Amino acid sequence: MSRQTINKYLTAIRLRIVELSILQSAPLVGQIEVDESYFGARRVRGKRGRGALGEAIVFGLLKRGDKVYTEIVPNCKSTTLQRIIKGKISIEKRHSF
């Protein structure tokens, strides 16, 4: 097998894993914790504020003792994060603290 063939098969397998995980992901119910973290480049001297240039922002939802959902987001604006929260948390149990 050539390298290209192997890469093609691995890509198909990865895409199928994503499809199955989306199908199995039910909305989170109960007390859910939300947080964002920055991964990647080290802090650049002199840079202020959140996230140095080149860092990936990962937003996560956690139901303690059960499931975790993470997503790489382009920014930490409230509209971006609220869209994810509304899509992943069951409506009848949504509270803000």
Query: Domain limits of the chain?
Result: 29-93
Cα–Cα distance, 61 to 86 (Å, whole number): 11
Distance, in Å, from the CA atom of 81 to the CA atom of 75, rounded to the nearest integer, reads: 9
pLDDT tens, position by position, 39-74: 886 666 666 666 556 788 999 999 888 888 888 999
- Count Cβ atoms below 10 Å from residue 56 Cβ, excluding itself: 13
DSSP state of 52: -
Residue 7 to residue 5: CA distance in whole angstroms: 5
The tens digit of pLDDT for each residue in 6-49 reads 999 999 999 999 888 877 777 888 888 999 998 886 666 666 66
